[in-house]
Structure 1
């Protein structure tokens, strides 16, 4: 038993090195040499050019703008070359008149009267809006935090008020019998303001509309002006004070050159907004009395909806766009010149 057990043990010891050697003949692969499998690439797959991606992202907005803006503009242009009245609407007949609508307008003294009135109305409003708005913006920059917050809230409230609601309030203010304007004039001892009609002339009506438009547009200019003033460093103001510059000299030498792009862009926007103002003028007195307070948008609306001259109204709107584009070409040149100087 002893010899047998020793022989078995010896044979086990002789087999063990062989097994160990057999296991050591295949060493495990090094961890650094392991290759990560790559996903197979699809055949014929190509990435989009980098320059094409921005245009693809803008494509939905361009398409929506073309559908919502370009199509009505083209349709209105086509309508301006047609005679569209009550008979054409009933019979659904298309009557082409060529440039007769345009020749009728360009030879009509009423059209030129309304066009001149619109230009004067726009110029007066833009000058007042930019002047008063800039002054209030400077005031915002000089006030403390609490008073600046109060004034900013008041400006935003005036800016956010709906146009029709603001027109209604102004009509109450200038009411013949219960208006505050007549009460103030009587309190000051001015005679002739017992049930005075503030809308008896076109000039008086447009004056009230101007007050309304300026009141509603000042917040935009004032808040933007204040935002622009925060970008000017205090060292420029300190240098101006050390040179003995007054307030106006500081404005023209420091503020205006630094905010010249702001003034150009804001004036550009205000001209567009005021020139196409419709709701304020029409809701105030419907272009009256005797159509003496009509501007071009109101003139086109009354000719179309009131007189059923839709082709003529379309021609008026086209000429309005042409006039506005001619006016704005001057500001486009200034903006481009400003960019070249920078």
Structure 2
């Protein structure tokens, strides 16, 4: 054996693994906001609402449990706490329930017609040329921006029995004679006119909002529905309507609240003295407080109206929560 064969090979030390390359810089993680930040941002708005609405609401609740008339208003007698007597007196009055039913029917008619007409006009605006859409939007914004008192005065002139242009135009139709016809001789006809006035002022907001919502409906979904054999009604029912559901729920709830609180249209149209067949909850509360001078019972009626509207708001919040869970 040679010397070269007897030499032991040298051991090679193991190599250390190279460190991994540094990770590429990613997006910075968003900082978590504290739970009190949203309330801090809402604080100015909540403070203003508390100052503007807090005292009137507390005063309304206080008066509803008191006997408060002209003597108490002028300080000749102190206000007397009478518990629930104002509420029992209102709830036991048959005229009050007639007013409640009339208000619900009036508001329901206004809301349904407003939403149907608003949806039809919004769908129509999607199928007209650009300049027509611009003209219609200008007309909608102009009618929406008109003050309620001005719009009520215009409608009062349109339906006037002696000088109203509507009677003159309709009388030109064959077999129609409405010269001198008084639209406010009966409650249903007069409330129908006031309903038209309310709808005329509410439709522009609904149309503009629904038109904005229709721009968010994916065109590929509508095209896929048509390829599956759906007609125009099928596309609207199964594609457009579900996407617009949150907007429709919001608009319907707001319309109910606004139409339940209609006051200047009825008050001005009837010259400041609405007849019993024209009374709604708002005007009925006003008459009890400032015509009969029973401020306690008027406050009780107003508080009952607020509770009814809170029920509508509760239904709205429940529907919105359901929509949020589905999404």
| Aligned 8 A contact 2:274 2:283 in 1 | no
| Aligned 8 A contact 1:202 1:288 in 2 | no
Query: Secondary structure of the equivalent of 1:143?
Result: coil
Q: Deviations over 1:139-170 (max 9, x none)?
A: 11111111110111111111111100000000
Deviation at 1:331, TM superposition (A): 2.7
1:299 is aligned to 2:284:
yes
1: CA distance, partners of 2:126 / 2:172: 36
Aligned residue among 131, 137, 141 for 1:146 = 131
Unaligned runs of 5+ in 1: 1-48
2: CA distance, partners of 1:76 / 1:190: 53
2: CA distance, partners of 1:97 / 1:286: 34
| Aligned 8 A contact 1:205 1:285 in 2 | no
Residues matched between the structures, number:
294
1:316 is aligned to 2:293:
no
Q: TM-score, normalised by structure 2?
A: 0.86
Question: Residues 241 and 52 (structure 1 numbering): CA distance in 2 closer, same or farther, change over 3 Å?
Answer: closer
Aligned residue among 87, 91, 114 for 2:99 = 114
1:216 is aligned to 2:176:
no
1:88 is aligned to 2:72:
yes
Partner of 1:129: 114
Partner of 1:264: 249
Aligned positions of 1:166-315 closer than 5 A? 166-286=151-271, 290-315=275-300
2: CA distance, partners of 1:215 / 1:89: 39
Q: Deviations over 1:213-254 (max 9, x none)?
A: 111111111111110111112111211222222111110011
1: CA distance, partners of 2:259 / 2:37: 38
Partner of 1:63: 47
Q: Deviations over 1:14-56 (max 9, x none)?
A: xxxxxxxxxxxxxxxxxxxxxxxxxxxxxxxxxxx95444433
1: CA distance, partners of 2:220 / 2:46: 44
Partner of 1:156: 141
Unaligned runs of 5+ in 2: 1-32
Question: Residues 289 and 85 (structure 1 numbering): CA distance in 2 closer, same or farther, change over 3 Å?
Answer: closer
Partner of 2:60: 76
Query: Secondary structure of the equivalent of 1:218?
Result: helix
Partner of 1:101: 86
Query: Secondary structure of the equivalent of 2:278?
Result: coil
Q: TM-score, normalised by structure 1?
A: 0.82
| Aligned 8 A contact 1:118 1:296 in 2 | yes
2: CA distance, partners of 1:52 / 1:254: 39
Deviation at 1:190, TM superposition (A): 3.8
1: CA distance, partners of 2:127 / 2:198: 26
Deviates more, 1:144-153 or 1:193-202: 193-202
Deviation at 1:318, TM superposition (A): 0.4
RMSD, aligned α-carbons: 1.6
